[in-house]
Structure 1
Amino acid sequence: MSRRRVIAGSVAASVAGTGVLGTAAGLSIASYFARQVLSPKPPLPDVDILGYDEASVTLSLTPATQSPGRYSLYWDGRDSHARLGAVIERTDGHVVRELLGVDFGELHEGPGRFTGYFYAGPPATTLPLPIEDVSIDGPLGEYPAWIVRGPHSRGDRWAVLVHGRAAARAETLRAVTPLTDVGWTCLSPSYRNDQDAPADPAGRYGLGLTEWRDVEAAVAFAYAQGAGDVMLVGWSMGGAVCLQLLDLSAYAEGISRVVLDAPVVDWEETIDFHARLNRVPMPLNRLAQRAVASPTAHGHFAGLSEPLDLPATNWVRRATELRTPTLIIHSEDDDFVPYGPSAALATARPDLVRLEPWQVALHCREWNTDPDRWERVVREFAS
């Protein structure tokens, strides 16, 4: 049975008990922190393109740009895209990476965005399979989605691929080859607050507690197209979305398996992680978590249209409620979603959860550092 518990309590009293700041200042800081977690943000440049030639691109040096593996580079927003390979040279200020190809746009110096997507979606793609654009009727309107079929795809086996928070559907394309190889048709839907999808009424993320309804519409679409077996694949917050769908959807019994890449399996611990990272005093962090769950304070405090039951996202605590075979791929060096809860969930449910730990990879970049291993593990689990 689903557990939908809302934490009540006096937010003002919580602030007064922190002993850190006065009530007004504490509320202001905690509210700001909560809204940073919940607010959709456009993809912003995070790297400088310093130079290029036919075989290489020179980028500013960051932990991401010097990481091993294959990556993606956007510039001019999302109007230009290139695929990058191995590091050729590294100095104190820049890194030179192999240029594998420019998919669309013209390279030039200036700001760019370095991602783990690797494959870009339409208007151009190097994915060796065609992408079909479709629209899914969902709870807030029409949601754009992609269908990808391979030569071995079957019409009765559908994998629904759920991207992460503030990410794009292109994030999911790395899974298409191993899944279509073993017979799956891939459906990559958008969900609320994506750039090309309807906005949430409050313009805030629900951390999976609202987005699951949008992905449920994608599952319903797959069944309407002839699916008899459905698998969920989720990255980061997309993993939290998948877990809520399994808990709350009428379609949950038909989901045969789940693949989670760097998933949020406990939002409380993930928010704690970011509070420590951003030096937010723990009492104020706790206040923020209580406020977004409060039936009376969630709107004024965090701009939410409904309270968010954060304890319902703690699947380590709720491990006994899991019913679906699950593969978790997660890097011990993840810099955004802590690895610990994934390991704890696998320990709690070794009968149902298989954990594939990675090293070195930053958040959601396990495929990038070792695509052969990633695809082999997913192919074996999905077969």
Structure 2
Amino acid sequence: MAKDEHPGVRRLGLLLAALGAFAATVLSVFGALAIVTRFARTIVVPPRTAPERQRIRSIDPAAGTVTLGADDDASMPGRYSLWFDGGDGHARVGPIVTSSARTVTRELIGVDFGDIDEATRGRISGWFYVGPWELGLDYEDVTVETDLGPAPAWRIPASEDDGRWAIMVHGWSVRRHEGLRAAPAFHAAGYTSLLISYRNDGEAPESADGRYGLGTTEWRDVEAAIRYAEEEGAREIVLMGWSMGGSIILQTVLRGATGERVAGIVLDSPAIDWRDILDFQGKLNHLPDAITRGVVGSLGNGWGRRITGLGEPIDFAALDVLAQASSLHIPMLVMHSDDDGFVPGTASRALAELRPDLVTFVEWTGARHAKLWNVDPERWDGTVTAWIAERSQTETRSLT
């Protein structure tokens, strides 16, 4: 100690240093809690407006093109929706015309509504059709009675109704419109399509907590849709789901709520292992593993309900499809891209390896999450119709 330093000053300095370290720790804890809270709520709170992060740089009416800021979504091959003006505007974009390190110029197929000339931001979406009237097929608005009340749905009847139905379950943060892409393939195969809504998706009735259950609650609405189809004469049902819709369908199956008429499952980019998905998202956003574990803990335990707003904790054990693979009994087609970017395809491949007797796995490359049809609709339609035909032939052989 220096000769002129008073012992009390030294003790004060040590105390202040300790308090500073304590304050830094407290701030660190609160900072981590804030990140956990935001991450957890992002997963289970249904977004009412989607962020428009895509730069719309220019429109060339003469050339029929739109130039976007270059990013992974803008650079995908295929056809997509381009939402703008907070969802009040909708256009459709086609193949890439030119690209550079900073921009991507795509064919502008058309503007359905809104003033795209004034738009500077937008959102690319795999939701391509804005309604069933665009498909050139008959359709009707119907309702499915769920335990929360009537949920709207679209029914697209088969040309010749022989009792085969496809129930289509959309994914996280979208609506039943997502399934319109699949309806022509199922119609061509002779199926009546039922495109359903489910709790908290912005169309169906809300649950008391207004939160997604990641499949642990929404399966009841699929069960109700199955009952509706059976009451309307369905003798054979295929369940088709995208992303979280796949998780919802698998929960319906594992909980024994499908009845005897569900004969097949088709999954596109399915959410099969939620722990794996959250871990992937954590790493994608450069979050420490401890934060991801905190998110899973807050979602899956009673103490986290103050953070998440969930009425009941999410049962991650029930969502673990791989651990329950031996309980599956319905043939399924699973399609997933190795470039998904949101839900890794590892669990889809693992499920196929665990149940090669049930699962036909078709891997894609170059398609981002739930956009397989957009990248190559001919391949998507062909894969689905071929699997349906093969499954029907297998069933016929087993009966003879």
Settle same-fold status: TM greater than 0.5. yes
Instruction: Report the counterpart of residue 115 of structure 1 in structure 2.
Output: 125
Instruction: Report the counterpart of residue 3 of structure 1 in structure 2.
Output: none
Letter in 2 for 1:61: A
Relative to 1, partners in 2 of residues 1:22 and 1:43: Cα closer, same or farther, differing over 3 Å? Answer: closer
1:191, 1:197 within 8 Å by CA — same for their partners in 2?
Answer: yes
**More divergent stretch after superposition (52-61 vs 160-169):** 52-61
Instruction: Report the counterpart of residue 135 of structure 1 in structure 2.
Output: 143
Question: What is the Cα deviation at residue 189 of structure 1?
Answer: 0.7
Q: What is the RMSD computed on CA atoms of the aligned residues?
A: 2.1
Instruction: Report the counterpart of residue 268 of structure 1 in structure 2.
Output: 275
* TM-score of the aligned structures, taking structure 2 as reference length: 0.85
Task: Tell me which of 224, 227, 234 is aligned to 2:234.
Answer: 227
Deviations 1:233-262 (A, max 9, x none): 000000000000111143343210000000
- What does 1:11-90 align with in structure 2 at a 5 Å threshold? 24-41=30-47, 42-49=49-56, 50-53=58-61, 55-90=64-99
1:142, 1:197 within 8 Å by CA — same for their partners in 2?
Answer: yes
Letter in 1 for 2:257: A
1:48, 1:109 within 8 Å by CA — same for their partners in 2?
Answer: no
Question: What is the Cα deviation at residue 211 of structure 1?
Answer: 0.8
- Using the alignment, how far apart are the partners of 1:215 and 1:240 within structure 2? 11
Relative to 1, partners in 2 of residues 1:60 and 1:22: Cα closer, same or farther, differing over 3 Å? Answer: closer
Instruction: Report the counterpart of residue 7 of structure 1 in structure 2.
Output: none
**More divergent stretch after superposition (46-55 vs 129-138):** 46-55
- Using the alignment, how far apart are the partners of 2:352 and 2:149 within structure 1? 37
1:51, 1:109 within 8 Å by CA — same for their partners in 2?
Answer: no
Instruction: Report the counterpart of residue 147 of structure 1 in structure 2.
Output: 155
Instruction: Report the counterpart of residue 326 of structure 2 in structure 1.
Output: 320
2:298, 2:305 within 8 Å by CA — same for their partners in 1?
Answer: no
Secondary structure of the corresponding residue to residue 317 of structure 1: helix
Instruction: Report the counterpart of residue 204 of structure 1 in structure 2.
Output: 211
Relative to 1, partners in 2 of residues 1:180 and 1:34: Cα closer, same or farther, differing over 3 Å? Answer: same
- Using the alignment, how far apart are the partners of 1:150 and 1:104 within structure 2? 30
Q: List gaps (5 residues or longer) in structure 1.
A: 1-18
Q: List gaps (5 residues or longer) in structure 2.
A: 1-24, 390-400
Structure 1 residue 362 corresponds to structure 2 residue 371: no
Of structures 1 and 2, the one scoring higher in RCO (CA 8 A, sep 6+) is 1
- Using the alignment, how far apart are the partners of 2:158 and 2:90 within structure 1? 24
- Identity of counterpart residues, as a percentage? 42
2:300, 2:315 within 8 Å by CA — same for their partners in 1?
Answer: yes
- What does 1:164-203 align with in structure 2 at a 5 Å threshold? 164-203=171-210
Question: Which of the two has higher C-alpha Rg?
Answer: 2
**More divergent stretch after superposition (356-365 vs 30-39):** 30-39
- Using the alignment, how far apart are the partners of 1:74 and 1:290 within structure 2? 35
Instruction: Report the counterpart of residue 305 of structure 2 in structure 1.
Output: 299
Question: What is the Cα deviation at residue 231 of structure 1?
Answer: 0.8
Instruction: Report the counterpart of residue 220 of structure 2 in structure 1.
Output: 213
Structure 1 residue 277 corresponds to structure 2 residue 287: no
- Using the alignment, how far apart are the partners of 1:150 and 1:103 within structure 2? 28
Instruction: Report the counterpart of residue 6 of structure 1 in structure 2.
Output: none
- Using the alignment, how far apart are the partners of 2:217 and 2:263 within structure 1? 22
Letter in 2 for 1:113: R
Question: What is the Cα deviation at residue 279 of structure 1?
Answer: 2.1
Deviations 1:274-314 (A, max 9, x none): 111122221232132123222x3142232100111112212
Instruction: Report the counterpart of residue 5 of structure 2 in structure 1.
Output: none
Question: What is the Cα deviation at residue 35 of structure 1?
Answer: 1.3
Instruction: Report the counterpart of residue 103 of structure 2 in structure 1.
Output: 94
Question: How many pairs were matched up?
Answer: 361
Deviations 1:143-185 (A, max 9, x none): 1111112435x25111110110001211111111111111110
Relative to 1, partners in 2 of residues 1:107 and 1:279: Cα closer, same or farther, differing over 3 Å? Answer: closer
Relative to 1, partners in 2 of residues 1:103 and 1:131: Cα closer, same or farther, differing over 3 Å? Answer: farther
- Using the alignment, how far apart are the partners of 2:262 and 2:146 within structure 1? 19
Secondary structure of the corresponding residue to residue 108 of structure 1: helix
- What does 1:328-367 align with in structure 2 at a 5 Å threshold? 328-367=334-373
Instruction: Report the counterpart of residue 241 of structure 1 in structure 2.
Output: 248
**More divergent stretch after superposition (139-148 vs 45-54):** 45-54
Instruction: Report the counterpart of residue 126 of structure 1 in structure 2.
Output: 134
- Using the alignment, how far apart are the partners of 2:51 and 2:268 within structure 1? 23
